Structure 1
Amino acid sequence: MLPHRHQTSRRAVPRTAKQQITGNKRMSDFDYIIIGAGSAGCVLANRLSENPANKVLLLEAGSKDSNFMIHMPAGVGKLIGTDLANWCYDTEGQPHLNNRKLYWPRGKVLGGSSSINGMIYIRGHARDYDMWRQLGLEGWGFSDVLPYFRRSEGNENGNSAFHGGEGPLGVSNPRKTNVLFESFVEAGKQAGHPYTEDFNGPQQEGVGPYQLTIKNGQRCSAAKGYLVPALNRPNLKIEVEALTSRVIFEGKKAVGVEYTQKGETKVARAAKEIVVSGGAVNTPQILMLSGIGKGEYLRKFGLDVVADLPGVGQNLQDHLDCVVINECTQPITLHSTVSNPLKQLMSGMQYTFFKTGLATSNGLESGAFLKTRPELEIPDIQLHFVAAMMRDHARIKSDRHGFTVHICQLRPESRGYIGLKSTNPSDYALIQPNYLAAEYDRKVMRDGVKMVRNIISQRAMDPYRGPEFWPGAGKQSDAEIDAWIRETAETIYHPVGTAKMGTDPMAVVDAKCRVHGLQGLRVVDASVMPTLVGGNTNAPTIMIAEKISDDMLGKAPLPAENVTIAEDRIGNAA
Structure 2
Amino acid sequence: MNELSYAYAAENAPHSWQYFVEHFDNRTQAVRDSKYAYTLSNGSYYVGVDPPAGSTPAGILYPRGGTLGGSSQVNAMNAAWAPDSEWDYIAELTGDDSWRHEEMRRHLMALENATYVRQGTPGHGHDGFLKVSNPPGTLQTIAEFPNVRSFFSEIIREVEGEFPNGTEDLARRLGRDLNRVDTDRYKPSAYAALTAIDPETASRSGIARHLNAVVAAGHPLTVSLHSLAQKIIFEEGKTGPKAVAIEYQKGEGLYSAGGQYNASQEGEVRAVRGKEIIISGGTFNTPQILKLSGIGPREELEALDIPVVMDLPAVGNFMQDNYETSVTIRAQEPWLNTSGPCTGTFDASDPCFVMWQTNATGPYVSAAYLLFNSRSSVSWNEESDLCFGSVPTGVKPGFWPGYSNLSSDPHYWSTSVIKMQTANPAGTVQLRSKDPRITPAINFHFFKQNADHDLTALSEAAELLFRGYDNTGIPYERVWPSPDVSLAQGIKDETFSHHATSSCRMGPQNATAAEACVDSKFRVKGVEALRIVDASVWPRVPGSFVNLPTFTMSTKAVEVILNKE
Q: Is the 1:244–1:257 Cα contact (8 Å) retained in structure 2?
A: yes
Q: Supply the distance in 2 between the matched residues of 1:151 and 1:183 (Cα, whole angstroms).
A: 39
The CA RMSD measured in Å over matched residues stands at 2.6
Choose which of 438, 444, 454 in structure 2 pairs with 1:441. 454
Per the alignment, residue 458 of structure 1 pairs with 471
Q: Secondary structure at the match of 1:148?
A: helix
Q: Supply the distance in 1 between the matched residues of 2:468 and 2:453 (Cα, whole angstroms).
A: 23
Q: Supply the distance in 2 between the matched residues of 1:454 and 1:336 (Cα, whole angstroms).
A: 32
Worse-superposed segment, 284-293 or 389-398:
389-398
For 1:489, give the aligned amino acid.
T
Q: Supply the distance in 2 between the matched residues of 1:259 and 1:540 (Cα, whole angstroms).
A: 29
Residue 233 of structure 1: CA displacement? 2.3
For 2:560, give the aligned amino acid.
D
Q: Secondary structure at the match of 2:350?
A: helix
Per the alignment, residue 376 of structure 2 pairs with 372
Residue 276 of structure 1: CA displacement? 0.4
Length, aligned pairs only: 477
Task: Write out aligned runs for 1:328-347 (5 A).
Answer: 328=331, 329-330=333-334, 332=336, 345-347=350-352
Task: Write out aligned runs for 1:191-206 (5 A).
Answer: 191-193=158-160, 195=173, 197-201=176-180, 202=182, 203-205=185-187, 206=189
Per the alignment, residue 428 of structure 2 pairs with 417
Task: Give the TM-score normalised by the residue count of structure 1.
Answer: 0.77
Per the alignment, residue 123 of structure 1 pairs with 81
Q: Deviations over 1:60-91 (max 9, x none)?
A: xxxxxxxxxxx887511212344442211111
Q: Secondary structure at the match of 2:91?
A: helix
Q: Is the 2:335–2:393 Cα contact (8 Å) retained in structure 1?
A: no
Per the alignment, residue 42 of structure 1 pairs with none
For 2:157, give the aligned amino acid.
Q
Residue 472 of structure 1: CA displacement? 6.9
Per the alignment, residue 59 of structure 1 pairs with none
CA gap 1:344/1:547 in 2 versus in 1, 3 angstroms: same
Residue 423 of structure 1: CA displacement? 0.4
Q: Deviations over 1:213-239 (max 9, x none)?
A: 110211112212444343342511111
Per the alignment, residue 152 of structure 1 pairs with 111
Per the alignment, residue 299 of structure 1 pairs with 302
Q: Which has the higher contact order (CA 8 A, sep 6+)?
A: 1
Worse-superposed segment, 448-457 or 147-156:
448-457
Task: Write out aligned runs for 1:321-360 (5 A).
Answer: 321-328=324-331, 329-330=333-334, 332=336, 345-360=350-365
1:529 paired to 2:538: yes
Q: Is the 2:342–2:352 Cα contact (8 Å) retained in structure 1?
A: no
Per the alignment, residue 225 of structure 2 pairs with 240
Worse-superposed segment, 330-339 or 152-161:
330-339
Residue 112 of structure 1: CA displacement? 0.7
1:495 paired to 2:500: yes
1:99 paired to 2:102: no
Choose which of 256, 259, 267 in structure 1 pairs with 2:248. 259
Q: Is the 1:292–1:307 Cα contact (8 Å) retained in structure 2?
A: yes
Choose which of 290, 300, 306 in structure 2 pairs with 1:287. 290
Residue 308 of structure 1: CA displacement? 1.3
Q: Deviations over 1:116-149 (max 9, x none)?
A: 1111101121101111111124021111211111
Task: Give the TM-score normalised by the residue count of structure 2.
Answer: 0.79
Per the alignment, residue 66 of structure 2 pairs with 108
Per the alignment, residue 381 of structure 1 pairs with 386
Q: Secondary structure at the match of 2:308?
A: coil
Choose which of 489, 502, 505 in structure 2 pairs with 1:483. 489
Q: Is the 2:481–2:487 Cα contact (8 Å) retained in structure 1?
A: no
Residue 439 of structure 1: CA displacement? 2.2
Q: Supply the distance in 1 between the matched residues of 2:323 and 2:394 (Cα, whole angstroms).
A: 18
Q: Deviations over 1:363-386 (max 9, x none)?
A: 363211110128741111110112
Q: Supply the distance in 2 between the matched residues of 1:499 and 1:374 (Cα, whole angstroms).
A: 28
Q: Deviations over 1:368-408 (max 9, x none)?
A: 11101287411111101123224233447246322211011
Task: Write out aligned runs for 1:183-222 (5 A).
Answer: 183-193=150-160, 195=173, 197-201=176-180, 202=182, 203-205=185-187, 206-215=189-198, 216=200, 217-222=202-207
CA gap 1:130/1:340 in 2 versus in 1, 3 angstroms: closer
CA gap 1:532/1:93 in 2 versus in 1, 3 angstroms: closer
Q: Secondary structure at the match of 2:274?
A: strand
Identity %: 24
Q: Supply the distance in 2 between the matched residues of 1:345 and 1:396 (Cα, whole angstroms).
A: 14
Residue 555 of structure 1: CA displacement? 7.5
Q: Secondary structure at the match of 1:509?
A: coil
Q: Supply the distance in 2 between the matched residues of 1:433 and 1:334 (Cα, whole angstroms).
A: 37
Q: Secondary structure at the match of 2:276?
A: strand
Q: Is the 2:90–2:99 Cα contact (8 Å) retained in structure 1?
A: yes
Q: Is the 1:185–1:208 Cα contact (8 Å) retained in structure 2?
A: no
Q: Is the 1:335–1:400 Cα contact (8 Å) retained in structure 2?
A: no
Q: Supply the distance in 2 between the matched residues of 1:92 and 1:413 (Cα, whole angstroms).
A: 18
Q: Deviations over 1:300-327 (max 9, x none)?
A: 1111111111100111010121111223
Q: Secondary structure at the match of 2:29?
A: coil
Choose which of 145, 158, 173 in structure 1 pairs with 2:134. 173
Per the alignment, residue 318 of structure 2 pairs with 315
Q: Deviations over 1:160-183 (max 9, x none)?
A: 222212211010012125326755
Q: Is the 1:333–1:403 Cα contact (8 Å) retained in structure 2?
A: no
Residue 208 of structure 1: CA displacement? 2.2
1:427 paired to 2:438: yes
CA gap 1:255/1:472 in 2 versus in 1, 3 angstroms: closer
Q: Supply the distance in 1 between the matched residues of 2:538 and 2:113 (Cα, whole angstroms).
A: 24
Q: Secondary structure at the match of 1:507?
A: coil
Q: Secondary structure at the match of 1:106?
A: strand
Per the alignment, residue 18 of structure 2 pairs with 88
